[in-house]
């Protein structure tokens, strides 16, 4: 893997770059659609490839480990062949499930004991097994096993958790060196900065992660309920320390406004379930704000879903028709909104890149944030 930084904005820390992987180039800043179980919910790979056109997508180690299992994926020749996706893929390590499945897990120094949300069976994840599983899944970018702290949490808990995450990181790197190459392409390990909303801890973690000299670095433990201003503050603290010549990935973020604000703070990569999860509830993101397509105000609106035409669904269907699909609980409505929202997110980061390269990112961002904050 290689990263070329092409330009940094003169009025902010926004950057335009390119990540080179064996499955293709990733132009940054980039948003990664979330394909938890080897599928972006409600979206065909053909629609992803031809209409939404992300450079990279994300899959979830914990879910793929449980179903279909690494044995199936490895037998298929890796996750790309299994799901018929030719471009880059990133897998998270399962560490987020330490946070999200808090009622069904127990954390120890050795690792984490999980109770499966599917059948109640018990499983034990360690830094070593998380790396081994990800190498078998076969993503281009794999993530270190970490603990994502809840919000709020006290300073001592955040510090203890961060120190453990650092020790687990050391074990991840040792295991990654031991692993044999299963596939005919390279896989790259990203470490993760933790530290909750405490500046001192974030600085310490960012310095520890930077010293690992990995190909890229991630920031975890944000967008877990903290106010947006605290998220931005922590991001800025960390990006001031992380090396400029490595891509920076902010995990689990966020709204369109969150993306723009964090791009201005020097973030290159994002992922979030929001565009698809909200789409399944009828929320549509547009350049002029958000709309709830289920509202009665759209009942007789026969104009196209979005005249800005980010992809084919925007001019193929009217607002009235898509509202009708939700009213009668047809799955096509959720699919249409999912495709639209993902296409809009990809447009937003690509447009950000254009303005960074053109040198007018900040004036454009200020205008966009005002528009995006509206309810239609």
Cβ neighbours, 10 Å, residue 71: 9
- The active-site residue out of 92, 146, 306, 314 is 92
Instruction: Map residue 346 onto helix, strand or coil.
Output: helix
Tokens of 324: 């009708």
CA 168 to chain centroid, in Å, comes to 22
Q: Which of 247, 225, 221 is nearest to 235 (CA)?
A: 221
Catalytic pick from 51, 268, 271, 314?
271
Active site residue 170: no
Answer for the pair 38, 83: CB distance below 8 angstroms, yes or no. yes
Residue with tokens 């960074």: 356
The structure tokens 């998380």 sit at 130
Residue 40 and residue 342 in contact, taking contact as beta carbons nearer than 8 Å: yes
* Residue 212 neighbours by CB distance under 10 Å: 16
Question: What would the two tokens of residue 332 be?
Answer: 């096509």
Of all helices (H) and strands (E), which one includes residue 21? strand 15-21
Tokens of 248: 């920076």
51: annotated active-site residue? no
Concatenating the DSSP letter of every residue in 258-290 gives: HHHHHHHTT--EEE-SHHHHHHTTTEEEETTEE
Q: How far apart are CA 339 and CA 320, in angstroms?
A: 17
Which residues are known to be catalytic? 92, 271
């Amino acid at each position: 893997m290689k990263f070329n930084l092409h330009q940094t904005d003169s009025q902010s820390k926004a950057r335009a770059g390119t990540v080179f992987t064996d499955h293709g180039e990733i132009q940054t800043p980039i948003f990664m659609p979330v394909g938890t179980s080897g599928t972006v919910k409600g979206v065909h790979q053909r629609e992803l490839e031809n209409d939404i056109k992300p450079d990279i997508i994300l899959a979830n180690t914990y879910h793929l480990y449980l179903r279909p299992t690494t044995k199936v994926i490895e037998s298929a020749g890796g996750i790309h062949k299994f799901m018929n996706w030719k471009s880059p893929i990133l897998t998270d390590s399962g560490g987020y499930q330490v946070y999200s499945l808090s009622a069904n897990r127990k954390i120890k120094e050795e690792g984490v004991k999980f109770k499966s949300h599917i059948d109640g069976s018990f499983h034990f994840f360690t830094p070593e097994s998380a790396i081994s599983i990800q190498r078998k899944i076969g993503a281009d970018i794999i993530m270190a096993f970490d603990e994502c702290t809840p919000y709020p949490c006290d300073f001592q808990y955040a510090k203890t958790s961060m120190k453990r995450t650092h020790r687990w990181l050391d074990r991840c790197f040792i295991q990654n060196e031991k692993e044999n190459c299963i596939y005919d392409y390279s896989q790259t390990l990203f470490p993760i900065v933790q530290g909750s909303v405490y500046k001192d801890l974030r600085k310490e973690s960012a310095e520890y992660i930077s010293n690992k000299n990995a190909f890229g670095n991630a920031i975890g433990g944000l967008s877990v309920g903290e106010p947006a201003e605290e998220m931005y503050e922590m991001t800025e603290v960390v990006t001031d320390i992380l090396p400029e010549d490595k891509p920076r990935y902010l995990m689990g973020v966020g709204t369109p406004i969150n993306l723009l604000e964090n791009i201005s703070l020097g973030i290159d990569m994002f992922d979030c379930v929001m565009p698809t999860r909200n789409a399944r509830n009828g929320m549509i993101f547009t350049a002029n704000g958000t709309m709830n397509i289920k509202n009665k105000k759209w009942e007789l609106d026969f104009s196209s879903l979005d005249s800005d035409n980010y992809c084919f669904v925007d001019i193929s269907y009217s607002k009235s028709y898509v509202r009708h699909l939700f009213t009668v609980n047809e799955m096509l409505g959720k699919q249409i909104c999912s495709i639209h929202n993902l296409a809009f997110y990809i447009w937003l980061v690509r447009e950000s890149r254009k303005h960074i390269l053109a040198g007018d990112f900040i004036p454009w961002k200020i205008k966009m944030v005002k528009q995006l904050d509206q309810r239609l």
